[in-house]
Amino acid sequence: MACSLGGCTGLKRRSENIEVAIPFLIFSALVIIPLLLALDRLIYVSGKMPWQVFSSLDEHYLSQGAIGFTFTQALLSTVLTLIIGIPIAWQLGRYNWPKIRLIRALLTLPFVTPAIVAAMGFMAILGSDGLDIRGDKSTYLVSLLFAHAWFNIALVIRFVDPVISNIDPSMEEQLRLLPAGNSLQGRIRWFWFPLMYPSVLCAAVLTFVFSFTSFAMVRWMIPRNATLETVMADVGGAAGIVDYQIFSNELVLASSTIQFIVLIVALWLLSVLQAKRNQTIAEVSESYSRKRSRIGWMILTPALVFCLSPLLAVVRASLRIAERGPVSSHRWTLDGWKSAIGGDYAYISILDALQNSLGYALLTLVIALPLGWSLSSGIHMLEKRNSYWAKPLDVLTMLPLAISGIMLGLGILLGIIRISTVFFTFWWMPAVPHIMIATPFVVRLLLPAMRRQDPLLIENAQMLAMNRWQILTQIRIPLLRGPLIVAGIIAIAMSMGEFGASWILVRTGAWDTLPVLVDQMMSRPGFDPLVKPAAMAAASLLMITTLILFLLAERFRPDGDGGMF
Amino acid sequence: MLRVEDASKAFDKVLFKELKLELSSGERLSITGPSGCGKTTLLRCISGLEDLDAGKIFLNGIDVSNIPPERRGIGFLFQKPVLYHHLDVAGNLRLGNRDADVSSALKEVGLDGFANRKCEKLSGGEAQRVALARALLAEPKVLLLDEPFSAVDEKLRSRLLKDTISLLSSRGTPAILVTHNLKEAKSFSKNVIMIDEMIPKD
């Protein structure tokens, strides 16, 4: 070697810095630049700054009450999710269950179920061929809250269950033998609460964010109540065009600014809470054998029914058709599937839509997985160096997770497509938001796995004179094979289920994805009895594809704290 | 003070059968024997963390066999020191006694000035000293020590043992030590029980 030790270290550090910088630049170009360009365009077209347009939300009939309603429903959804989710997570974490991996997979399935499928499932349960309560508008809000809780209980399970299941039993036993822990209240105060609250609040913050930005469920379950998300979706298509519907620019600017502030606060909170949560996880790193629960089935059985009902209801509704006549009745038929597979003048076949969805999903996989790997490696490298950049970059990768699909779609529509219409002709354009949405999931799955990896394994490989490429291909990738497969499958599932951004960017056409097709079908006038079963058939196909992918991913998920999702 | 009457416990095999044991006020007792012979299980049964298959446990003449562990007033020092990392050293000590004079308790175990330390920064020996101080602050009727010094080196172990004995003697707290190490058992108490033989030896 012709360089001094200090010189070599400097060179190594520089090449590592470049390795970290490149993926972050790509990621920023994908996520931040379209949003900044979109913001710039909205300000330019409306002629106002964000803080000058907040009042327009309450002045316009399309968005009156949207701010209050968005916050209220998100808050109530969060509370309901915790009420349902915590006892389930407690049962799963504290007790020994036969087939626990399957039970956990089924209970967390709703989170990866496309929101449009979930909305269809709840509509089917509540509709005329189910509980038949859709006629009563007073049930709309409660239905939405339960739908949001259904979607988000997986977050409570994923955050809280590993903390409970990895607790060293002697921690609780010791407290029981001390005066502070000789009552249940004492044990809750001194042990369970400090141990669990960071995880519960992490789940609560994310639930709030996802409920705050929920689109498909709000659009279908509360059709006449506007949230900030539906306001942006409704008027976003007309925004960004000079001298055309200026109010739409103001509404989008106001809604997106409020949403962005909420999301930034939520992300900051999440990062603080996650740091606290990691301390509790690090404290308890082994798995312990558990007792069997005697009454746990009374919680888990209804929970499983709750989680699976909307999914089964979608399949059932795809096989039922309303009969014309004075009395409302339905019969079993495959006509809905035949109509969906055949397609018609108004929409493409579900098989074509599936092909489109799979195409976008593969493109997402090819880009999001290596990008997510590079980002995770970069953050991990900075963490090992105790760099102050590690935390902000970690939070940056979570940004698209919190930004809604509609906002991402509008970012691309207003920030890129409205600048040059040639972008409209690029078939891959709808995949861009999918990559943006999938990448944080990849990072959240790979980064914890990298943190858990014993550094000695890499150091030992270096001592065996392996170069960086050999270490990557022969050591790091094989060791992280499980989380990589899970991340890849989840990226595909996220892309396939993505609705908001695709709804903004695709609408009707040959590039329709399955979720967009479901929405289109359901939006058609209801006088044709085949419309609903055909839409449900499309939703079923989407759900079955996601289900297969998810169950496949669960086979490779590591035990314990297998990442956020 | 503490009386164990005809205690029996079995998991896959019989660990102990019709075991009898008595400990008077201020007395110390060591229990030794090979791994898996039931030493730890016996302590867990006395503390109430495990139930006996048969037999009774009396504390100050009262049958506590069916009383939950948190109501028995028994202290326990686990093999691995159990400290709560969300609390600092002082916070951990206050779990033993809310009104504790933390600094003098720490001084007694040789950890003067450690009150505001984070628990994850403590060495194994320091952590076990904090756990001991906390257990003593709770003023237990009996203190059970389950190989609490096994994770520290030989030199430190004998020092910790000496300090523990002196703290127990000064308070008159009766205690039972479980250990593999016969030498340690003999240093801790006059009476040593080989649990596999269930014969008290001098």
Give B75's contacts in chain A (Cβ within 8 Å): 177-178
Indicate the SS3 state at residue B15.
Answer: strand
Per-residue pLDDT averaged across A283-304, rounded?
Answer: 77
Measured CA to CA, the distance from residue B41 to residue B31 in angstroms comes to 12
Which DSSP symbol is given to B88? B
The pLDDT of residue B78: 92
Please report, to the nearest 10 degrees, the dihedral formed by the alpha carbons of residues A238, A239, A241, A243 taken in order: 90
Mean residue pLDDT of chain B comes to 90
pTM summary value = 0.83
Whole-number mean pLDDT of chain A? 86
Instruction: Report residue A1's pLDDT band, with 50, 70 and 90 as the boundaries.
Output: very low
pLDDT at B199: 40
CA distance A540 to A337: 10
Kindly state the average pLDDT of the residues A185-200. 93
Say how far apart CA A498 and CA B106 lie, in whole Å: 58
B117 vs B195, more confident: B117
From the list A171, A176, A280, the residue facing B70 with the nearest CB is: A176
Instruction: Categorize the per-residue pLDDT at A155 as very low, low, confident or very high, splitting at 50, 70 and 90.
Output: very high
Mean pLDDT value of segment B11-40 = 88
Name the minimum distance, in Å, from the CA of A457 to any CA of chain B: 25
Calculate mean pLDDT across residues A109-120: 89
* Band of residue A8 on the pLDDT scale cut at 50, 70, 90: low
Strand-strand pairing, B28-32 and B175-179: parallel
A21 has a chain B CB within 8 A of its CB: no
> What pLDDT is stored for residue A2 in this prediction?
43
CB contact under 8 A, B76 and A177: yes
* Residues near A351 by beta carbon (within 8 Å), at least 6 away in sequence: A341
Contact A237, A62 (CB under 8 A): no
- Confirm if A206 and A155 have CB atoms less than 8 A apart: yes
Chain B residues close to A284, C-beta within 8 Å:
none
CA angle A510–A512–A518, rounded 5-degree value: 135
Element (H, E) at B22: strand B14-23
List CB contacts (< 8 A) between A177 and chain B: 47, 49, 69-70, 74-76, 138, 140
Residue found by looking up tokens 């939300």 in the block: A57
Closest CA to A400 of A428, A344, A442: A442
Q: Does B99 touch chain A (CB under 8 A)?
A: no
pLDDT at residue A7 is higher than 70: no
Which residues does chain B have within 8 Å of residue A174's beta carbon, measured at their own beta carbons? Answer: 76, 78, 82, 131
Count contacts between A and B (CB, < 8 Å).
64
d(Cα A234, Cα A450) in Å, to the nearest integer? 42
d(CA A543, CA A114) in angstroms, rounded, equals: 7
Mean pLDDT to the nearest integer, A187-192: 93
Q: Per-domain residue ranges for chain B?
A: 2-201
Burial call A157-169: b when 16+ CB within 10 Å, e when fewer: bbbbbbbbbbbbe
The yes-or-no verdict on residue A359 having pLDDT over 90 is: yes
Q: Which chain B positions have a beta carbon within 8 Å of A176's beta carbon? A: 49, 68-70
Please give the average per-residue pLDDT across B19-45, as a whole number. 90
DSSP 8-state code for residue A191: I
Each residue's pLDDT tens digit, B161-174: 999 999 999 999 99
CB pair distance less than 8 Å for B84 and A181:
no
Do B24 and B1 touch, CB atoms closer than 8 A?
yes
Q: Which two tokens stand for residue A465?
A: 């004179």
pLDDT higher than threshold 90 for residue A308: yes
Cα(B149)–Cα(B185) distance, integer angstroms: 12
Burial class of residue A454 (count of CB atoms within 10 Å of its CB; 0-12, 13-18, 19+): exposed
Digit-coded pLDDT (tens) for A452-488:
888 888 878 877 777 888 888 888 999 899 999 999 9
B2-201 has CATH 3.40.50.300 classification: yes
User: Which whole number is the average pLDDT over A527-540?
Assistant: 88
Would you call B68 and A176 a contact, using CB atoms and an 8 Å cutoff? yes
Residues of A in contact with B76 (CB under 8 A): 173-174, 177
Contact at 8 Å (CB) between A170 and B77? Answer: no
User: Testing the interface with A: which of B44, B86, B93 to mutate, by most A Cβ within 10 A?
Assistant: B86
Which pLDDT belongs to residue B198? 55
A181 interfaces chain B, CB cutoff of 8 Å: yes
Give me A487's structure tokens: 């991340």
Q: Residue A182 is nearest to which of B71, B78, B131, comparing CB atoms?
A: B71
Task: Pick the residue from chain B with its C-alpha nearest to A197.
Answer: B86
Report d(CA A383, CA B198) in Å as an integer. 54
The pairing of beta strand B54-59 with beta strand B62-63:
antiparallel
Nearest to A177 among B69, B84, B86 (CB): B69
Q: Give pLDDT, residue A186.
A: 94
From residue A497, give the alpha-carbon distance in Å to each of A314, A430, A516, B25, B55: 15, 13, 9, 70, 62
Interface of B with A in 141-200 (CB under 8 A): none
Question: Whole-angstrom Cα distance, residue A148 to residue A217?
Answer: 8
The string of DSSP letters for A429-474 reads TTHHHHHHHHHHHHHHHHHHHHHHS-HHHHHHHHHTT--HHHIIII
Rg (CA), chain B: 17
With a cut of 90, say whether residue A152 has pLDDT above it: yes
Residue whose tokens read 């900075």 = A382
Tens digits of residue pLDDT in A87-112: 999 999 999 899 888 898 899 889 88
Q: φ and ψ at A127, to 5 degrees?
A: -80, -170
Contacts of B120 in chain A (CB under 8 A): 283
| A173 close to B (CB below 8 A) | yes
Residue A177 has pLDDT above 90, yes or no: yes
Q: Which of A180, A198, A176 is nearest to A189 (CA)?
A: A180
**pLDDT of A562 higher than 70:** no
Residue of chain B nearest A277, judged by CA positions:
B86
Name every chain A residue with its beta carbon within 8 A of the beta carbon of B47: 177
**B13 in contact with A at a CB cutoff of 8 Å?**
no
Of A563, A274, A273, the C-alpha closest to A441 is: A563
Please report the domains of chain A, with CATH numbers, ordered by start residue: 35-288+296-556 (1.10.3720.10)
